[in-house]
């Protein structure tokens, strides 16, 4: 199988096959499994995603793996499909339902893709999603959001509430807080954030801001607000509490929390002395960035030469490189810095596979594609999200983390 695209979610991975455009999944959520271990080799390997209510066999024009749910746009119909699983509490599955859109119910959680009603006929050009919310951009730059909005991540008011009192809106509605003279050209998401990059080069953000991942000031943002720290932005992606911003000049800036190395600014010894709100991430040899990806607490930058650089949390191998030195910061005998990569390191990919062309970061795993169509994964694998089940006999082997890249396609 030759890949044409990948997207890493919370505990799963989506891979699109070249040639026929079929979508495949590995892990706990891509096929609807809700943290249930299918205890056999075949189910831990890649399996095709079936679009249940498509009139004909559907393939994807766009797809995105969020933390606990997925979005796709049908190549034949142009419809928006959602599916997935997720919880706000152990034992409940209702937390993700609003992010699946209107018409979904608890019975749908754990099932496959289902088309949802979308309020406009305009062509969908980009899709993204955080932990419990979804983002859609249509042709012309309009943004629609739906899902949970307790921290402002929808970028608009929410009138509805779920049974627990959480502010939610399962109906896709347009975000109107961006100035009318601006035209959005790309979107991104953090765990509890919506990000929008405009043709002007300005970045707008909504949602959680306790770690200043949306810019100066620790207040959460309930409307789309301009991030004034960085200009000439071309793309932005968020993790659990940090944001990566790529500029037109190929530079990368990071904002938010960084004490697991996800800011890429070197060793941080004192939690009372955080780095500046926005800091530039310097790649080895002063390389320029072509793409950024943010996991929960780790980061990936793809250089224009096709090298993937990683930094941040590495406790389960999600950086795919050796961790930096350990250090006992508070003198209690424990190494707080063990399992951390403080500054960008190149991920070792075999030369025969060709340069890396796309990077994607899940909660604690990473997936890369190369020019030859090969796919490599590394990091956490407790739900089979690395897609390396084929040929393994032992369930322990199937769920072991991988600290170096493993070819899966």
What is the reported pLDDT for 151? 95
Residue 186: closest CA among 177, 195, 197: 197
Task: Please write the tens of the pLDDT for every residue from 319-339.
Answer: 999 999 665 555 565 655 569
Which string of DSSP letters, residue by residue, matches 178-211? Answer: S-TT--EEEEEEETTEEEEEETTS-EEEEE--TT
Indicate the pTM of the whole model. 0.92
Q: CA-to-CA distance for 39 and 384, rounded, in angstroms?
A: 10
Q: Which pair of tokens denotes residue 232?
A: 């000439």
How many whole angstroms separate alpha carbon 384 and alpha carbon 47?
12
DSSP secondary structure letter of residue 261: S
**DSSP conformation letters of 61-73:** EEEEE-SSEEEEE
Which of 297, 279, 174 has its CA nearest to residue 224? 174
Each residue's pLDDT expressed in tens, for the chain with a length of 409 residues? 676 799 999 989 999 988 788 899 988 775 554 444 444 444 567 888 888 655 567 889 999 999 989 999 999 889 999 988 644 444 444 556 777 886 666 555 556 788 999 999 999 999 999 999 999 999 999 999 999 999 999 999 987 887 777 888 999 999 999 999 999 999 999 999 999 999 999 999 999 999 999 998 889 999 999 999 999 999 999 999 999 999 999 999 999 999 899 999 988 766 556 678 999 999 999 999 999 999 999 999 999 999 999 999 999 999 999 999 665 555 565 655 569 999 999 999 999 999 999 999 999 999 999 999 999 999 999 888 998 865 555 556 667 889 889 998 8
Q: Do 12 and 385 form a contact (C-beta atoms < 8 A)?
A: yes
């Amino acid at each position: 199988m030759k890949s044409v695209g990948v997207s890493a979610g919370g505990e799963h991975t989506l891979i699109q096959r070249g040639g026929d455009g079929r979508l495949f999944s590995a892990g706990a959520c891509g096929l609807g499994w809700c943290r249930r271990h299918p205890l056999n080799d075949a189910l831990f390997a890649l399996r095709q995603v079936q679009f249940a209510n498509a009139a004909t066999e559907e393939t994807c024009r766009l797809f995105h793996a969020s933390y606990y749910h997925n979005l796709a746009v049908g190549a034949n119909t142009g419809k928006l499909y959602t599916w997935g699983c997720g919880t706000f509490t152990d034992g409940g599955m209702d937390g993700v339902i609003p992010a699946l859109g209107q018409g979904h119910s608890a019975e749908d959680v754990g099932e496959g893709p289902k088309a949802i009603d979308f309020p406009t006929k305009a062509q969908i050009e980009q899709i993204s999603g955080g932990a419990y919310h979804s983002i859609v951009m249509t042709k012309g730059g309009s943004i629609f959001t739906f899902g949970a909005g307790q921290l402002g991540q929808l970028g608009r008011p929410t009138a509805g509430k779920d049974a627990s009192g959480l502010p939610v809106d399962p109906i896709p509605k347009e975000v109107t807080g961006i100035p009318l003279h601006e035209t959005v050209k790309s979107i991104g998401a953090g765990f509890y954030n919506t990000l929008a990059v405009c043709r002007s080069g300005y970045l707008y953000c909504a949602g959680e801001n306790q770690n200043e991942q949306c810019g100066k000031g620790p207040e959460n943002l309930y409307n789309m607000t301009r991030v004034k720290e960085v200009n000439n932005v071309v793309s932005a992606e968020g993790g659990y509490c940090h944001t990566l911003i790529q500029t037109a000049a190929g530079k990368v800036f990071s904002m938010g929390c960084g004490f697991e190395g996800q800011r890429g600014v070197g060793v941080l010894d004192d939690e009372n002395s955080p780095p500046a709100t926005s800091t530039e991430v310097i790649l080895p040899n002063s390389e320029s960035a072509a793409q950024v990806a943010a996991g929960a607490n780790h980061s990936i930058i793809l250089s224009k030469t096709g090298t993937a650089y990683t930094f941040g949390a590495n406790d389960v191998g999600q950086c795919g490189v050796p961790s930096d030195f350990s250090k006992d910061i508070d003198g209690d005998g424990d190494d707080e810095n063990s399992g951390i990569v403080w500054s960008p390191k190149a991920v070792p990919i075999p030369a025969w596979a060709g340069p890396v062309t796309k990077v994607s970061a899940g909660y604690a795993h990473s997936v890369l594609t190369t020019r030859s169509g090969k796919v490599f994964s590394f990091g956490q694998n407790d739900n089979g999200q690395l897609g390396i089940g084929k040929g393994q006999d032992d369930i322990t082997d199937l769920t072991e983390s991988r600290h170096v890249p493993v070819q899966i396609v």
